[in-house]
Amino acid sequence: MIQNNYQGARQHPIETGFNAQSTAAHVIKGIDLSHTIAIVTGGNTGIGLETTQILANAGATVIVPARDIEKAKKNLQGIANIEIEPMDIMIPSSIDAFAEKFLSSKRPLHLLINNAGIMWVPLRRDERGIESQLATNYIGQFHLTARLWPALKQANGARVVNVSSLGHHMSPFHFDDPNFEHRNYETLQAYGQSKTASNLFTVELDNRAKEYQVRAYAVHPGSIAGTELAREAPVELFQKMGFLDEKGNIRAEVLASLKTIPQGAATTVWAATSLHLQGIGGVYCEDGDIAELIPANPDTPSLATPHKNGVQKYSLDESGAKRLWMLTEEMTGIPFPVE
């Protein structure tokens, strides 16, 4: 019996009946989350807000850490079972303070949804010198999960869902220069690298944590209309990527391929709650199912090959996952022994 997903050993669709059109409300139908405690980062906007509302509606108590408390209160107004706490995923001391407050409540943590993320931003660094997309999209996931580990273990059955992206196809992880100190900064490469890191973290976390009844999943939400991810992106970048025409208008075929926010939150909610995943962890999911594994290119096994879906094998590599774990502990000074 295969117990881990290194090299994509368990990366096979399981025919759930869900697809790209399924919504978060659809995939959670019939599931009762009473007595469930969840944390959703980025849970007051976009697909994070939808995730928060769906989990709360199913009976979960949902804690939403937010950088802008007033904005969070406004966006979450009227949703029952919500707690809002201050946290900035780019500031290590802020993550520590949030985690310490939660741990002091002595509550178990059944669901940790690492949803917060950024994209299409210029070169920035956090106070440790870590490039901002890597810091937000991956390092923040590692840091928060490490600090909340006692509560996850206490749950005697918890799930960690790391929101990744098809964007991991854009770049493997560059161990020699993760922070663009010796190469030119390219925002999409930085984004791709951060999402590959999230996948590697997921497969390694699951392998280490499963003996404590904690399972981990990476999810690709899809390309979503109506989120705030593109707020800093220049028009020229979208034109270069083929999303916009020469007049700056979104192309019809691109518009037709976009998911709604309820559809975009579906795979996150499915990974967090589905009975289909009992006994399975460390997998990358999309469209309410486990995604297909993309075979490595034998000529260039370490390079990304773009596809419309599926997971790149290099982002599930055992040696890369273990190496990244050790590197992250060194970069952050945060030991995460999982014990």
Catalytic residue numbers read 191
| Token digits of residue 86 | 């201050």
Contacts of 303 (CB under 8 A, 6+ apart): 172, 297
Amino acid at the residue 207: N
User: Given the DSSP bridges, would you call strands 37-40 and 284-286 parallel, antiparallel or unpaired?
Assistant: unpaired
Complete DSSP assignment for 174-218 = -TT-TTSSSS---HHHHHHHHHHHHHHHHHHHHHHHGGGTEEEEE
| Token digits of residue 77 | 């107004």
What whole-number distance in Å separates Cα of residue 138 and Cα of residue 114?
9
Ordered strands of the 289-290 beta sheet = 82-86, 61-66, 37-40, 111-114, 158-163, 214-220, 284-286, 289-290
Beta bridge partners of 62: 38, 82
Three-state DSSP at 158 gives strand
Comparing C-alpha atoms, which of 30, 18, 28 is closest to residue 53?
A: 28
In degrees, to the nearest 5, what angle opens at C-alpha 176 toward C-alphas 195 and 230?
30
